[in-house]
């Protein structure tokens, strides 16, 4: 069984029911909506409704996350759409966003950031393909020297790897998109270009003030400052994403693997789900097969115990969206199987796994240990908030985790957690008379969905009294009848 979750980005290649249905059947657990490409509320509404309708037809609890565009810094337009800069020449970036660019100067879409910059700092354009060095700042304009020449064209992105930018991570467009995402009922909102934990807290306040506290926040680690503050950001977030595109430009490609591994390790210690994203199967945008390097890249992320792997252009605009998901699923299945074998070969649980101690972590660790020693077939983690299932997931069990919950928002959010199979209880926990009845209800559902069968041995964790978040305090072992 695939335990690592797959996120697919919706786009022209997949936003029709026929293809969307196929990729959900092939193993996609979460759908990403890229806010950078939406210009209309109606388009967002149509895509959310398409995903919900298709997932319901498949009886699948698919999560949706809306990825905010963020304060992406870009150069302006050029008279002839683009120019070629020569290494060594001078070039001016002007504070006038409307100026038409030439071979000598161009505009900047966010001129307010210029006051944050200093002489001697680098400016990368188009993912670092063209590089400048700020020699002086005069009358609000950046006077630069080209250190690596090349072609630049309209609205190419700008990275400032050594600059401390004070601009908010949430733009006016983002604020409008947040309200739209809340209105149409997404499960997560992803915050781009996070620098510090306060950026996450700012978004949290907006979400809570809109009375949608169930919506989770995904913080994208793609700035140098975010790497330096990753622990505080992870503590403030519901999910963390290692967004390797801009991150590679900001810190240097050679440092991305170390940052990825360290971020996953810290998130697992904090019980924070973590996504690895960007160019995971990039070659399959135009080709039907993956490279060996891409397969190894995905497998290594799984061996490091990420929760989810993400497809971007591969499913949004790629030529082979279904083949891409099939390939990703096979890699996940093979790596997950090997990871489970490695877990089974160990005879004792590491005593210190999580930074925070609680009754829930203690009972989940005990349940995991028992399941390994008696060779159980499945774990069943009843949860009101999703926390018990998440803790169990972070212990990397070698068996599936079925997570019954009585709230559809929690069920969908758990679609992102590694190894967790969320199911919706037919009744609220508080309306169920006893633990035994609750267990039987969940087993009936799990059997009908094919997750368990008669004779399976199940380890069950739950809290008593029923329906109290954070109250996991009991373990049971039963044989499925």
Which sequence positions are flagged as catalytic? 32, 74, 220, 278
Alpha carbons 110 and 440: distance in angstroms, whole number: 58
Judge whether 459 and 370 are in contact, CB under 8 Å: yes
Nearest to 280 by CA among 215, 228, 234, 335: 335
| Spatial CB neighbours of 436, under 8 Å, sequence gap ≥ 6 | none
Rounded Cα distance, 159 and 264, in Å: 24
Q: 465 preceded by cis ω (within 30°)?
A: yes
> Would you say 11 and 316 are in contact if contact means Cβ atoms under 8 Å apart?
yes
| Residue owning tokens 């996070």 | 194
Where is 85: in which H helix or E strand?
A: strand 82-85
Can you say whether residue 185 is alpha, beta or left, with left for phi > 0 and alpha for psi between -120 and 50 degrees?
A: left
**135 CA to centre of own chain:** 38
Cα radius of gyration (the chain)? 24
Nearest alpha carbon to residue 54 among 31, 33, 38? 31
Instruction: Say if residues 291 and 258 touch (Cβ distance below 8 Å).
Output: no
Instruction: Give 358-383 as a 3 state SS string.
Output: CHHHHHHHHHHHHHHHCCCCEEEECC
Pick from 408, 413, 225, 402: nearest CA to 307: 413
Both structure tokens of 142? 């950046």
Q: How do beta strands 150-153 and 122-125 pair?
A: unpaired
Label residues 397-426 b or e (16+ Cβ within 10 Å = b). bbbbbbbbbbbebbbbbbbbbbbbbbbebe
Give the β-pairing of 90-93 and 82-85. unpaired
Residue for token pair 């909506």: 33
Please give the Cα distance from 52 to 139 (Å, whole number): 52
Cα separation of 22 and 373, whole Å?
A: 38
Q: For 419, which DSSP code?
A: T
CB neighbourhood size of 223 (10 A): 26
Give the separation between CA 221 and CA 256, rounded to whole angstroms: 11
């Amino acid at each position: 069984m695939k335990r690592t979750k797959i996120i697919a980005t919706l786009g022209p290649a997949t936003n029709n029911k026929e293809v969307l249905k196929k990729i959900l059947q092939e193993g996609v657990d979460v759908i990403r909506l890229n806010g950078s490409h939406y210009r209309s509320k109606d388009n967002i509404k149509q895509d959310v409704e398409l995903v919900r309708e298709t997932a319901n037809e498949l009886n699948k609890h698919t999560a949706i996350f809306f990825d905010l565009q963020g304060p992406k810094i870009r150069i302006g337009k050029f008279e002839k759409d683009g120019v070629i800069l020569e290494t060594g020449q001078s070039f001016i970036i002007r504070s006038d966003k409307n100026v038409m660019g030439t071979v000598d100067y161009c505009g900047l879409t966010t001129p307010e950031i210029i006051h944050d910059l200093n002489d001697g700092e680098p400016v990368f354009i188009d993912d670092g393909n063209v590089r400048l060095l700020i020699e002086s700042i005069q009358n609000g304009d950046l006077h630069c020297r080209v250190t690596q020449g090349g072609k630049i064209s309209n609205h190419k992105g700008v990275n400032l790897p050594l600059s401390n930018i004070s601009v908010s991570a949430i733009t006016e467009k983002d604020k409008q998109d947040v309200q739209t995402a809340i209105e149409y009922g997404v499960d997560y909102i992803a915050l781009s270009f996070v620098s510090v934990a306060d950026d996450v807290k700012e978004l949290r306040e907006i979400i809570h003030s809109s009375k949608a506290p169930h919506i989770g926040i995904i913080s994208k680690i793609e700035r140098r400052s975010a790497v330096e503050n990753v622990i505080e950001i992870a503590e403030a977030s519901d999910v963390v994403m290692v967004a390797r595109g801009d991150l590679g430009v900001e810190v240097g490609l050679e440092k991305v693997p170390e940052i990825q591994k360290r971020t996953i390790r810290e998130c697992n210690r904090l019980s924070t789900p973590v996504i690895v994203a960007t160019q995971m199967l990039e070659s399959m945008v135009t080709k039907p097969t993956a490279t060996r390097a891409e397969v190894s890249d995905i497998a290594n992320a799984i061996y490091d115990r990420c929760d989810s792997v993400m497809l971007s252009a591969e499913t949004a605009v790629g030529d082979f969206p279904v083949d891409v998901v099939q390939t990703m699923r096979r890699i996940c299945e093979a790596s997950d199987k090997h990871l489970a074998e490695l877990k089974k070969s160990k005879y004792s649980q590491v005593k210190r796994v999580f930074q925070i101690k609680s009754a829930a972590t203690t009972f989940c660790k005990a349940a995991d240990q028992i399941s390994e020693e008696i060779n159980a077939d499945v774990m069943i983690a009843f949860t009101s908030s999703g926390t018990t299932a998440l803790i169990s997931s972070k212990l990397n069990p070698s068996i599936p985790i079925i997570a019954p919950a009585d709230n559809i928002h929690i069920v969908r959010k758990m679609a992102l957690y590694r190894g967790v199979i969320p199911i919706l209880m037919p009744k609220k926990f508080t309306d169920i008379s006893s633990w035994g009845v609750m267990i039987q209800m969940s087993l009936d559902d799990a059997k009908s969905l094919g997750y368990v069968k008669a004779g399976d041995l199940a380890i069950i964790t739950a809290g008593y009294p029923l329906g109290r978040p954070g109250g996991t305090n009991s373990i049971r072992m039963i044989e499925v009848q």
